[in-house]
Amino acid sequence: MRRSVVIVGSGFAGLCMAIRLAEQGRDDFVVLEKADTLGGTWRDNTYPGCACDVQSHLYSFSFAPNPNWTRMFARQEEIRAYLEDLADRYRLRDRIRYGVTVTGAEYDAESGGWTVHTERSASGTSIDTAGGETIDCRFVVWGTGALHEPSVPEIDGLERFDGTVFHSAHWDHGHDLTGEKVAVIGTGASAIQFVPPVAERAAELTLFQRTPPWILPKVDRPISAAERWAFRAFPALQRLYRAAIYARLEARVVGFRNPALMAGLELLAKLHIRRAVADPELRRALTPDYTLGCKRVLISNDYYPALTRDNVNVVTDGIVRVTERGVVTADGAEHEVDTIIFGTGFKVADAFAQLAIVGRDGVKLTDAWRDGAEAHLGTTVAGFPNLFVLVGPNTGLSHSSMVYMIESQVAYVLDCLDLLDRRGARALDTRPERQAAYNAELREKLAGGVWQRGGCRSWYLDENGVNRTLWPDFTFRFRGRTRHADPADLVLTP
Ligand code: NAP
């Protein structure tokens, strides 16, 4: 089957690409989705308390504002419903083929197109029978993001554990935690959201903390019916509201780029601990010793109070092994539990490792990225013509909405397609020297930032300490650079 565009993934990125292509009358595309429903991370992460830590009015598409958000920070169900609604509004339902996992893709220089290999997903349903086929296309848009492969640490003896084990991204809703002894491993963005509701249900919760996160108060509240009415009646008001949130979050870049400026926020975060936690020993354990911003800054009002409950115990000794009955820590203590929940994040560096993507001259993407993932404007990769990666290397944010970055990248992809049409060219590749110069510039900007200098070890950095995840600048600068495809960056094949 030949298509013009194959989009992989139906989260925010894949849907944005699909909507924009359809709007431009470039209708010849298909979205391939490994699961049975759309939504990406907002479909997969269903743990109790799951919500976005970016304000909903900004964490949504500028071209599809939702005046009906019920909270400042929407919960997972509401964001997922927003994405489902978009699929209806933009008539994407029959453009998405579910239960299809993309296993790889090869570029064919002769035709200037790609052959995409798929297989039926384990979770695939009879909604579609397309799995197992190959699809020829001109362009591939990879929209899977990097936070979808759960990371479960290899802990000695884990396979021997007699109880229940699951990861926060694969929450076992069939398993009732009521009255159980529960171990939670990890204290990142996910864990701090599900620890409070789990603590309410469990008889005992033992929280294994390796590094305490910096946590600021969450300025959350319901959005009243009157406000929602006003946003519906006066769309300009909602745009203004969104712009105000955008400006406030953007200002944070100054602090991330100048770690010394983080002292004020650290003070606020310490007061936040002090207000909730009376026990000085627990306070000490919860206070980070690195600069705020080095790891993702979290927001919560219920996490610290949950840790002061009688049934919650914070353990800071390292985990050495798991036995049939529980978790053993470096001090020799065995913490008996019924269930272990991993809130240990995702395999960011391996996001593309399983895929056989073969570009020009038979070069594999895994080989091109042997020393680390690198792209031009986070979107195109030299040697891989007509391939676009959304939420690619160095497009992540620690200060604002990824949806804004996705929209910027999608605009860039569309401009590349326009450029090809205007020049009557078949394929577009990135000049390696332009990609190298762009990445050298990124490295320089990142070097002075808190992510590099803050004295912590985070998933923002790869095993060599190189930051290949974050955009280190204002997002409007990224938007400016992705507004138009610069022919000087590209090689066009007639
Ligand atoms: P994460 O931020 O990577 O946190 C993982 C946690 O597990 C950390 O506390 C880490 O400790 C701990 N850990 C990892 N391996 C361990 C081991 N072997 N032993 C003990 N502890 C271990 O993962 P996440 O909380 O799932 O969040 C991942 C990302 O998803 C976030 O940064 C964010 O971008 C996104 N997210 C966003 C939202 C949102 O509201 N927008 C919500 C949830 C997640 P160390 O710190 O010591 O490594």
Q: Residue 280 belongs to a domain with what CATH number?
A: 3.50.50.60
Helix (H) or strand (E) run with residue 254 in it: helix 252-257
* 130 contacts 97 by C-beta, under 8 angstroms: yes
* 460 contacts 470 by C-beta, under 8 angstroms: yes
Task: Looking at the structure, tell me whether residues 136 and 199 fall in a common domain.
Answer: no
Domain limit, last residue, from 282, 310, 342: 342
Rounded distance from Cα 210 to ligand 1 centre (Å): 11
Q: Residue with the nearest Cα to atom 39 of ligand 1?
A: 52
* 22 contacts 156 by C-beta, under 8 angstroms: no
pLDDT for the residue 125: 44
Which atom of ligand 1 is nearest to 168's Cα?
26
Give the range of the structural domain holding residue 330, as residue numbers without chain letter. 158-219+247-342
Rounded distance from Cα 41 to ligand 1 centre (Å): 14
Task: Looking at the structure, tell me whether residues 477 and 370 fall in a common domain.
Answer: yes
Q: Give residue 413's pLDDT band: very low, low, confident or very high (50, 70, 90).
A: very high
Tell me, yes or no, whether 234 lies in a domain: no
Task: Looking at the structure, tell me whether residues 408 and 454 fall in a common domain.
Answer: yes
pLDDT averaged over the chain? Answer: 95
* 117 contacts 102 by C-beta, under 8 angstroms: yes
CA distance 29 to 406: 18
φ, ψ of residue 454 in degrees (nearest 5): -80, -5
Which atom of ligand 1 is nearest to 50's Cα?
42
Helix (H) or strand (E) run with residue 61 in it: none
CA distance 297 to 99: 35
Helix (H) or strand (E) run with residue 154 in it: none
Domain limit, last residue, from 300, 315, 342: 342
CA distance 128 to 243: 41
Rounded distance from Cα 170 to ligand 1 centre (Å): 14
CA distance 31 to 34: 10
Rounded distance from Cα 190 to ligand 1 centre (Å): 6
Q: Residue with the nearest Cα to atom 12 of ligand 1?
A: 186
Q: Residue with the nearest Cα to atom 4 of ligand 1?
A: 188
Tell me, yes or no, whether 177 lies in a domain: yes
Task: Looking at the structure, tell me whether residues 422 and 468 fall in a common domain.
Answer: yes
Tell me, yes or no, whether 235 lies in a domain: no
Given a cut of 60, whether residue 267 has pLDDT beyond it is yes
Tell me, yes or no, whether 241 lies in a domain: no
pLDDT for the residue 146: 83
Tell me, yes or no, whether 230 lies in a domain: no
Q: Give residue 124's pLDDT band: very low, low, confident or very high (50, 70, 90).
A: very low
Task: Looking at the structure, tell me whether residues 256 and 379 fall in a common domain.
Answer: no
Using left for φ > 0, alpha for ψ between -120 and 50, and beta otherwise, residue 145 falls in left
* pTM for this entry: 0.96
Task: Looking at the structure, tell me whether residues 312 and 416 fall in a common domain.
Answer: no
Rounded distance from Cα 295 to ligand 1 centre (Å): 9
pLDDT digit string (tens) for 296-347?
Answer: 999 999 999 999 999 999 999 999 999 999 999 999 999 999 999 999 999 9
Given a cut of 60, whether residue 144 has pLDDT beyond it is yes
Rounded distance from Cα 185 to ligand 1 centre (Å): 10
If you write DSSP's letter for every residue of 159-213 in order, what string do you get?
A: GG--SEEEEGGG--TTS--TT-EEEEE--STTHHHHHHHHHHHSSEEEEE-SSPP
Which atom of ligand 1 is nearest to 147's Cα?
30
CA distance 416 to 31: 19
Task: Looking at the structure, tell me whether residues 176 and 307 fall in a common domain.
Answer: yes
Task: Looking at the structure, tell me whether residues 374 and 323 fall in a common domain.
Answer: no
Select from 175, 132, 144, 201 the least CA-distant residue to 17.
Answer: 144
Which atom of ligand 1 is nearest to 52's Cα?
40
Task: Give the total number of structural domains in the chain.
Answer: 2
In the structure, which protein residues have their CB atom closer than 6 angstroms to any atom of ligand 1? 52-53, 147, 153, 168, 185-191, 208, 210-211, 296, 319, 343-346, 459
Rounded mean pLDDT, 165-193:
98
Tell me, yes or no, whether 320 lies in a domain: yes
**Which residue bears the tokens 């306070």?**
283
Rounded distance from Cα 391 to ligand 1 centre (Å): 18
Task: Looking at the structure, tell me whether residues 398 and 478 fall in a common domain.
Answer: yes
Rounded distance from Cα 187 to ligand 1 centre (Å): 6
Tell me, yes or no, whether 231 lies in a domain: no
Task: Looking at the structure, tell me whether residues 428 and 331 fall in a common domain.
Answer: no
Task: Looking at the structure, tell me whether residues 306 and 359 fall in a common domain.
Answer: no
- Kindly list the distances between the CA atom of residue 267 and the CA atoms of 262, 272, 279, 288, 332, in Å, as whole numbers in the listed order: 9, 9, 18, 12, 35
Provide the H-helix boundaries in 371-449: 402-423, 432-447
Among 296, 341, 471, which residue has the most ligand 1 atoms within 8 Å of its CB, making it the best to mutate? 296
Rounded distance from Cα 431 to ligand 1 centre (Å): 35
Domain limit, last residue, from 342, 360, 381: 342
Among 344, 391, 461, 470, which residue has the most ligand 1 atoms within 8 Å of its CB, making it the best to mutate? 344
3-state helix, strand, coil in the chain (%, to 5): 35, 20, 45
CA distance 20 to 138: 17
pLDDT for the residue 102: 95
pLDDT for the residue 130: 52
pLDDT for the residue 343: 98
Rounded distance from Cα 60 to ligand 1 centre (Å): 23
Tell me, yes or no, whether 463 lies in a domain: yes
Task: Looking at the structure, tell me whether residues 336 and 353 fall in a common domain.
Answer: no
Rounded distance from Cα 181 to ligand 1 centre (Å): 22
Q: Residue with the nearest Cα to atom 26 of ligand 1?
A: 345
What percentage of the chain has pLDDT greater than the value 90? 93
- Kindly list the distances between the CA atom of residue 177 and the CA atoms of 66, 197, 202, 411, 445, in Å, as whole numbers in the listed order: 35, 10, 6, 45, 46
* 62 contacts 238 by C-beta, under 8 angstroms: no
Distance of CA 36 to the CA centre of its chain: 20
Among 148, 171, 190, 317, which residue has the most ligand 1 atoms within 8 Å of its CB, making it the best to mutate? 190
Helix (H) or strand (E) run with residue 84 in it: helix 76-89
